[in-house]
Structure 1
Amino acid sequence: MKLMINHQTHYTYSDQACNSIQYIKMTPMSNVHQQVHYWDVSVPGQKEVKADAFNNIWITSSQRQPYQQMTIMAQGIIEMNPHTQFGIDTAINPNLFLQPTANTLCNAEMKDFAKRHVPYLTREHLINLSAAVLQHIPYVPDQTSVQTSAIDAFQHRQGVCQDHSHVFIAMCKYLGLPARYVSGYLFVPNTSHLASHAWAEVFFENTWYCFDTSNQLFALNSHIYVAIGRDYWDVAPVRGIRERGGIESMNSIVQVLAC
């Protein structure tokens, strides 16, 4: 299945900004699940492309001229295998994804929640845990931010795919299972305007399994990989610093269409 993806991120500033550096992870790679036929990331300024510690494609863009608006556009065509059942293998040791991060820690209540729903390790119990997380944290947009940790989201009891992934990853790490955060896109037929997406993958019985808690999907037949990491901050589409600029406003538009 070929998909055309268009991801635009628009920034506006109340005052002139200058001397900015943007770190961009919006470039998918070809693997056994997907073939990238064409991809381009358009961003003002000078660009440098390299790989990060997780082998994600990492663009550094430097903008020296003053500006009050900036647009980053990623677009391309990807052919996805709709029959993929398991997460992709990488050269990275799965045990790296046992490493705790500030956004994927458990408190006592979360540990009890995980043990209650996973009395012993089976994929079925992990699926039950995913369903329980969604029931505990209904999908409600605009109630959390990229700063929200797993503990915060669990206590707040509202969130989005980022929060579901952080909470599920935190609980799986507590249970002794390597778990990773995946950023990407989700294809939903007959829907053109979607947000970029995130889900968790867990290494169990020598296999990476998909756990898309927000949508209760456990296979990759609708997903496109962009980047893999321990949490959101390892795969953030855009991070950066700048001089001046005042108040920043951001608007993002994503289209995922069959072609």
Structure 2
Amino acid sequence: MKLMVNHQTHYSYSEAALNSIQYIKMMPFNNRHQNVKSWDISVPGEKQIKRDAFNNIWITSSQRYVYQQMTIMAQGIVELNLTPENGIDDQINPYLFMQPTPSTMCNAEMKEFAHRCVPVINHENLMYLATSVLEYIPYVPQSTNVNTTAIDAFQNRQGVCQDHSHVFIAMCKSLGLAARYVSGYLFVPNISHLASHAWTEVYLNNSWYCFDVSNQLFIPSSHIYVAVGRDYWDVAPVRGMREKGGIETMHSIVQVLAC
């Protein structure tokens, strides 16, 4: 299955901005699940392409001029291999993802929730945990932001895919399991406008397994991988800093279409 992705992020500023730099992770990579047929990222200014500690493709872009609007565009075609049922394999030590982060901390109530759903660690019980998390934290668009932690989402009992991923990672780590945050795109037939997506992979029996809590999908047959990390901040599509600029307004559009 071939998918065409068009991801546009538009920024505008109330005052003139200058001397800015962005760290961009919006470029998918080849693996056993996907073959990147073509991909291009358009961003103003000078750019360099590197790899981060998790082997994600990392673009650094800098602007040394004055501006009040900026657009970052990523688009291309990715062919999915529908055969593999597990997550992607790489050379990174799985236990690197056991490291605590502020976004994936687990309180006592969350630990009790996890152990109640998973009395014995196996794939079936982890699927039940994923279902239970979605029931406890319903998907509510725009109910949280990038600074919402797993504990915040659990206490407020609402969230989006980012929050479901953070909560599930936190609970899995409390069970002694390595779990990682995956960013990318999800193809849903008959729906052309989707937000960029996030899901979780858990290391079990020497393999990574997909747990898309928000959509209750456990085989990554409709997912395009872009980056993996310990939490959202390791894989954020765009992070940056600038001089001046006043108030920033951001608008993002994502299309994932079969082609």
- Equivalent residue runs for 1:53-202 within 5 Å: 53-202=53-202
Query: Could you tell me which amino acid in structure 1 is paired with residue 30 of structure 2?
Result: S
Q: Which runs of 4+ in 1 moved over 2 A?
A: none
Query: Could you tell me which amino acid in structure 2 is paired with residue 137 of structure 1?
Result: I
Q: Does 1:237 align with 2:240?
A: no
CA–CA separation in structure 2 for the residues paired with 1:188 and 1:120: 33
CA–CA separation in structure 2 for the residues paired with 1:120 and 1:31: 31
CA–CA separation in structure 1 for the residues paired with 2:192 and 2:181: 24
Aligned to 1:18: 18
Aligned to 1:49: 49
Per mean C-alpha deviation after superposition, the further-off stretch among 145-154 and 81-90 is 81-90
CA–CA separation in structure 2 for the residues paired with 1:95 and 1:142: 32
Q: Deviations over 1:115-137 (max 9, x none)?
A: 11001101111000000100110
- Kindly indicate whether the alpha-carbon contact (under 8 Å) linking 1:15 and 1:247 is maintained by their aligned counterparts in 2: yes
Measured after TM superposition, the shift of residue 83 of structure 1 is 2.9
- Kindly indicate whether the alpha-carbon contact (under 8 Å) linking 1:184 and 1:225 is maintained by their aligned counterparts in 2: yes
- Equivalent residue runs for 1:27-46 within 5 Å: 27-46=27-46
- 3-state SS of paired residue (1:103): helix
Q: Which runs of 5+ in 2 are unaligned?
A: none
- 3-state SS of paired residue (1:146): coil
Query: Could you tell me which amino acid in structure 2 is paired with residue 183 of structure 1?
Result: S
Measured after TM superposition, the shift of residue 82 of structure 1 is 2.2
Q: Does 1:221 align with 2:210?
A: no
- Kindly indicate whether the alpha-carbon contact (under 8 Å) linking 1:130 and 1:216 is maintained by their aligned counterparts in 2: yes
Q: Deviations over 1:142-189 (max 9, x none)?
A: 111000000011001110000000000000001000000000000011
Measured after TM superposition, the shift of residue 110 of structure 1 is 0.3
Measured after TM superposition, the shift of residue 202 of structure 1 is 0.1
CA–CA separation in structure 2 for the residues paired with 1:38 and 1:174: 40
- 3-state SS of paired residue (2:103): coil
Cα RMSD over matched residues?
A: 0.5
Q: Deviations over 1:54-75 (max 9, x none)?
A: 0000000000111110000000
Q: Does 1:206 align with 2:197?
A: no
- Kindly indicate whether the alpha-carbon contact (under 8 Å) linking 1:185 and 1:224 is maintained by their aligned counterparts in 2: yes
Measured after TM superposition, the shift of residue 223 of structure 1 is 0.3
Measured after TM superposition, the shift of residue 84 of structure 1 is 2.5
Aligned to 2:252: 252
CA–CA separation in structure 2 for the residues paired with 1:240 and 1:66: 16
- Name the TM-score, length of structure 1 as normaliser: 0.99
- Kindly indicate whether the alpha-carbon contact (under 8 Å) linking 1:83 and 1:220 is maintained by their aligned counterparts in 2: no
Query: Could you tell me which amino acid in structure 2 is paired with residue 97 of structure 1?
Result: F
- 3-state SS of paired residue (1:19): strand
CA–CA separation in structure 2 for the residues paired with 1:246 and 1:143: 25
Per mean C-alpha deviation after superposition, the further-off stretch among 157-166 and 83-92 is 83-92
- Kindly indicate whether the alpha-carbon contact (under 8 Å) linking 1:106 and 1:174 is maintained by their aligned counterparts in 2: yes
Measured after TM superposition, the shift of residue 81 of structure 1 is 1.1
- Kindly indicate whether the alpha-carbon contact (under 8 Å) linking 1:23 and 1:238 is maintained by their aligned counterparts in 2: yes
- Kindly indicate whether the alpha-carbon contact (under 8 Å) linking 1:39 and 1:77 is maintained by their aligned counterparts in 2: yes
CA–CA separation in structure 2 for the residues paired with 1:40 and 1:166: 29
CA–CA separation in structure 2 for the residues paired with 1:153 and 1:82: 33
Q: How many residues align?
A: 259
Q: Does 1:6 align with 2:9?
A: no
- Name the TM-score, length of structure 2 as normaliser: 0.99
Measured after TM superposition, the shift of residue 3 of structure 1 is 0.7
